[in-house]
Structure 1
């Protein structure tokens, strides 16, 4: 309605004022031309009949009476000495007129003036020989004519009244049209609101669909995408809770079975007691590892403001990780190789990235070949990013599983993973750490040939 008011009523008001003012200006201009034409005839007669010397000329005075009666005006004839020799109102006869218009006219300049407030047009025209050029003819006197424009003002008032009536009709029609149009335009938005409220109240599974306008389609499509994302997050949360419950429950179940076995067999030999207690201790370690990884993941899920950013020598960081993991590699008969192509210093959170790199390298060691395997860590950089590539000669990852390996508790081969160990949270923690640094991670793999993790992280951290 506001839009219709602006584009409908405001231009209508402007047009109404322009039309009325144009009419008044044109009417004044036309009347001025008409009076000027009549005065030109009079000027010829005034000079030809030497009226300045004989102001009692009945023919000229009769012309004056006709013009003043037709136009409702007043005529003054002023000689060279600025003396009024004729006044159709008989008020200023034999008086002197020294107005600015008369003085200009005695100097040979015609003047015209419209007094809108007092509603009259005034013309000051020089009396001179019409046969000579205006620049060469001598000014003998002045013909000062004033005519009323009251009929123009009356017509203007009538026109303004009718215009206002028409404008009021237009305003009423626009308001009615605006109210109807607003209702029609807002109706689809109300549909969207009602459907969103229904989803909010009951969390329906259906998508909203209001294809009335292109705009409502865009809004509903965007909302449906957001809703799909929310559902995915909700499903992921449910799956995550389920997986956490399962992962935490499994060691507890194992410990309970072992403990019940010992309770049911109090006369069991010492060696059996030791074996069962060793298994219980192993399950406790496993439970502790799951809880530790969950806490790390929770920290990774927090906002990036929790990062402890500082300049760090990436070469030294990777050397320290390789040195720490080398005993694990030696035990598994896996060679760790570090290739640094240039010295690199970047703004990172050392703790979180160390955890990310460690998780990938540990996985590369665990899932490598039984004999003679290797893990190669390469470090390089350009002006904007530094790149860490971790390649191994391991068992590889199936193509249909690559997109899922960063999910929490996901394992490619659950039976084999259980033998090797781990909680299924390492790669989820790794991706979270890299994403917090505004980085990216990509995986390529071939079964039986190995896996390569390619990591790209900005040299300068920006929020």
Structure 2
């Protein structure tokens, strides 16, 4: 760059005077490769074209260029550096400087030889110590790898970081294998937890037994059947009925299923034993079916009650119809009234059955705003006959949060419930004036209904059966 500044604005015949005392060789060349000035060559015309020189090509393309080679003109090695040069004329030039490189090249060759000899000696010494150290080092690394796998760690450094590449590659394989094993163990543990949750959420008692009757796995359902924590099934269960059935399943090694009634607690259980041949194990499930059996009993009682309820008015109707044929005119009106009352009773029974069916078939609530006065009026109208007959009184007490005095409810279902309860309160009443008191209170998200009467009431031991379908207290 300094040479470029010095040469700037000078004529070619002035360069010889400027660069006569410098050791650098100074050359000016145009873009076609023609030499216009060379500080070491008096006759530039005999110099060959420089367009193919590496530093000239680079300078034209990339502003500057560099190369080291033997000069054909001077027979010595030179380092060449060239840059674009503007001399104030229309023609474009390259200014190139060069310095003799022969002596430095010889020095570099001598130094390289010394280095090669030094590294050969150093490698020989290193190899000698390496081959004597390798066996013991490998043993230590194998021991380290073994401890790593046994420890269940995820990450551990091998040692100082100077081992051969193949050792590190093998070490990476081991670490990946260890990571996969730990991931699989974690996955299995997670799946086991999910399985435990599933087994625990089942509403049946589940237990897995081995061929000797030892408990391998169980959930916590139906704990009232168990006596204590024990590995043996015959020591864990309280009741001989279950123990005997499981013993039968273990001895037969077949899938068996049986309904068992335990007299001590008055409950029914469905016990199922499945033999797993592959593992020689037994899966035992015990399901409480007491409610199902009781529902069957309730249905039987219902059929019996329905038969009885229908039979009585039908018998009365049939009897009085026969009596009407020969009855005197004075008694016929009385007989017709009795028949009408029995028909009304039959109609009420049928309506009750239809209401039950309707409730069960429609679980959707039709919520609409209903005025309290409308509820009171409809209840009075639906029970007008029995109210007038018994001289009953119905009192309402409303506590509502809104000023419009309306409640949001399914009017049809609400009236069905109120009518049924109020009607029972009037009908099963031995007072001269039956009184029914209804208290309706609105909460944040619900309405509470309290209904009280002055009738015969419900025996305390029967209260829990109020919501059992079709249950009736003995009329006596």
TM-score of the superposed pair, with normalisation by structure 1: 0.43
Give 1 or 2 for the bigger CA radius of gyration: 2
Using CA pairs under 8 Å that are at least 6 residues apart, name the structure with larger relative contact order, 1 or 2.
Answer: 1
TM-score of the superposed pair, with normalisation by structure 2: 0.42
